[in-house]
Chain A
Amino acid sequence: MRAYRKRPWAALVVDMTPLIDVIFLIIIFFIILINFSQVHIRNVVLPNASQGYQSDDSNKQKMLITIKSKDEIYLEGTQMSLADMGPAIVRKHPRGSDVTALMRADEEVPYELIKLVMLKLATLNIDKVQFATWEGELTPLAESVTANPPLDRQVSE
């Protein structure tokens, strides 16, 4: 009679517990890290330019103005109307002349809106303005066939 030695045999079992632990840890980490409202504000299609340069922010007091449309103007991440912008700037930067305004405006925004913001800055003695751009070829003038509707019409729509 042949005697077989019984060998201990264990099936390959993948323990999912640490995997799930790590995945959830990562998910929680990124949920805490990402502020979705800021993602929306930063999501702007900037105009292309070839003469732009990397701004040296080390010794400049910056004020970020994001313009997505007539109804979406943000000052330092806070949404506000054009009328409320002046008092808000004065509150944040009482000595206007020391600050540089960084304008991140959508490329399709009508110039009228940019003009009004620049006028507001000028009245508050903020004369240093930077326009945020992306490195790239300029959009040819011929590609702009449809006109932007005037601001008062945009509001009523």
Chain B
Amino acid sequence: MKLKFQQSGVKRRLAVSMTPLIDVVFLLMVFFLMTINFEKPELVLENRLPQLGVEASEDPSKDWETVELHIEMARQGGQLRLFLEERALDSYAELLDYLALLPDDILVVIDAADDVPYKHVIGVYNTCLQASKQEIVFSVAG
């Protein structure tokens, strides 16, 4: 006769408690949601507006040195173009090349037509800064 010995070890069911896991997961989620910045970083371009009623010639010694360059922005046949003196330019690269030939202390006046989108005015201003022009003003005439 064969005797069967049953193993009498106590078997325990593995019970996984989900509560602390969820607590920690949510805690981490809240932490990352609070620290992550979804916005694109904003940069600034600075400009000084000329004060109204104050003439540019407060320093008379500079008067004779001031050379102005008018950049006009307007549409010609539906196409937005830049006009400098007698030339018409179609791109910022052309403007940058043109500005590179001029002295840095030249006064640049950006004179955009009313219907020109703001992004292109900023485009021209950005190009002037890229060309190391220090005196840039916006025309508010018209």
**Chain A contacts to B: CB under 8 angstroms:** 7, 9-10, 12, 14-15, 18-19, 22-23, 26, 29-30, 42, 46-55, 102, 104-115, 118-119, 121-123, 125-135, 138-142, 144-145, 147-151
Contacts and interface: CB of A to CB of B under 8 A. Distances in A.
A125 B40 contact: no
B79 A145 contact: yes
Contacts of A10: 13, 15
A15 B19 contact: yes
Given A51-B126, A52-B45, 10 more contacts: A12-B15, A49-B122, A53-B43, A107-B117, A111-B117, A123-B52, A130-B46, A133-B43, A134-B41, A134-B43
Interface of B: 11, 13, 15-16, 18-19, 22-23, 26, 29-30, 33, 39-52, 73, 75, 78-82, 90-92, 112-123, 125-127, 129-130, 138, 140
A122 B50 CA distance: 7
Contact of A130 (B33, B45, B127, B130): B45
Contacts of A105: 118
29 contacts: A14-B18, A18-B19, A18-B22, A22-B22, A22-B23, A47-B122, A47-B123, A52-B43, A53-B44, A102-B44, A105-B118, A107-B119, A107-B122, A108-B118, A108-B119, A110-B114, A111-B113, A111-B115, A115-B140, A130-B46, A133-B45, A133-B122, A138-B119, A140-B91, A141-B79, A141-B81, A144-B116, A144-B117, A147-B115
B82 to A, nearest CB: 7
Nearest to A124: B52
A51 B92 contact: no
A15 B129 CA distance: 63
Contact of A141 (B30, B45, B91, B118): B91
